[in-house]
Amino acid sequence: MMLKDSTLTDQHHFAIRLKKKKNNNFKTFAQFMPEYPGGISELYAFLQENIYYPERMKNLGIEGTVYVSFVIEEDGSISRVGIERGIENGEELNKIAIKAIQKMPNWIPGRSGNTSVAVKQTIPIQFSLVND
């Protein structure tokens, strides 16, 4: 948390005022949905570069799909990254998926008319073992 200032109130209780970070309102759909810079093929390329499958998880036979949600804010920045549904016994894979989403560059924000709006998205990230 980032402290803006602190003061003593009339009752001599310590009060803290926090800087408000982001608007808590977001949409799940907008007239013009957010776009990853360069389009969907660039998004896939980014995810391929930033997601890896640890040998330890492969050796344990842990696979599945992580559903990662995030909000594309009015300025295109990524916030509120979280797991909607993770992989059972795959906490390490869940964390890798979250870190990749957190690294994403700013998107072209969603719009309703001429107004930028925050939009929540969910991306499935699949970790699967392939038999040789």
Cα–Cα dist 68/57, whole Å: 19
Q: Residue 88: its pLDDT value, please?
A: 94
- 71 Cβ partners below 8 Å, 6+ apart? 22, 26, 78, 79, 80, 118, 119, 120, 121
Domains and CATH numbers, the chain: 23-127 (3.30.2420)
- 4 Cβ partners below 8 Å, 6+ apart? 17, 18, 19
pLDDT in tens, 68-87: 999 999 999 999 999 999 99
pLDDT in tens, 93-107: 999 999 999 999 999
Please say whether the beta carbons of 110 and 121 come within 8 A.
no
Q: Residue 25: its pLDDT value, please?
A: 87
Q: What is the pTM of this model?
A: 0.78
